[in-house]
Amino acid sequence: DTGVSQNPRHKITKRGQNVTFRCDPISEHNRLYWYRQTLGQGPEFLTYFQNEAQLEKSRLLSDRFSAERPKGSFSTLEIQRTEQGDSAMYLCASSLLRDRAVGYTFGSGTRLTVV
């Protein structure tokens, strides 16, 4: 297992364009999380899935953001009509429900720059 994989690693887009990021979690992990991190700050929670069900969304996740996890495997995070304030690192993490006391495994993130 190669851990949590995120693609692309970097994305530069023009303001107003739509972007989509992909996260492939560790295969047996049934929980998947999205976080956002801006420069100099710690990661902020966006949303999480248990299998294919999206169980919690942060108020940070505006209506321009949508996340999916079809079939409970990989997940996508789409941002529509990007704004310069969306520039950040988008991190994905996964965990196994039955090991609740164990930490999450994070990917290396997708760095988004909106110009």
Partner 1 sequence: DAKTTQPNSMESNEEEPVHLPCNHSTISGTDYIHWYRQLPSQGPEYVIHGLTSNVNNRMASLAIAEDRKSSTLILHRATLRDAAVYYCILRDTGNEKLTFGTGTRLTIIP
- The distance of closest approach from Cβ of residue 46 to partner 1 in the complex, given in angstroms and rounded to an integer, is 9
Q: Which is nearer to partner 1, 14 or 101 (CB)?
A: 101
Beta bridge partners, 45, equal: 35
Tokens of 84: 């310069």
Binding to partner 1 by residue 65, rule CB under 8 A? no
Binding to partner 1 by residue 43, rule CB under 8 A? yes
Beta bridge partners, 57, equal: 47
Contact positions vs partner 1 (CB under 8 A)? 4, 31, 33, 35, 40-45, 48, 55-56, 58, 91-93, 100-109
